[in-house]
Amino acid sequence: DTDGDGGIPEAGYWKGIRLEPTGTARFDHAAVRYAGGYEYAYTEFSNLINQGGTLEFTNSETSFASQNGIKHNAGTTTVAGSNLAHTPVGVYITAPFVSVTDSVFDTTPTAISVAGGDYSSDIFTASGNTYIGNQVPIIEISSMNVVGNVTWGSSFPYVISGTVVVNQGATLTMNPGVIIKGRINNSLFMIQGTLLALGTAEAPIIFTAANDDAAGGDTDGDGGIPEAGYWKGIRVEPTG
pTM of the model: 0.93
Mean pLDDT, rounded, for 205-215: 94
> Per mean pLDDT, which range of 29-38, 116-125, 216-225, 231-240 is the poorest?
216-225
> Residues 118, 23, 129, 86: is their CA dihedral positive or negative?
negative
Residue 138, pLDDT > 90, answer yes
Mean pLDDT, rounded, for 156-161: 95
* pLDDT bracket for residue 154 (50, 70, 90): confident
Cα dist from 118 to 149, 165, 190, whole Å = 12, 9, 14
Residue 197, pLDDT > 70, answer yes
CA distance 113 to 111: 7
With b for 16 or more beta-carbon neighbours within 10 A and e for fewer, the 133-164 pattern comes to eebbbbbbbbbbbbbebbebebbbbbbbbebb
Q: Is the peptide bond before 97 cis (omega within 30 degrees of 0)?
A: yes
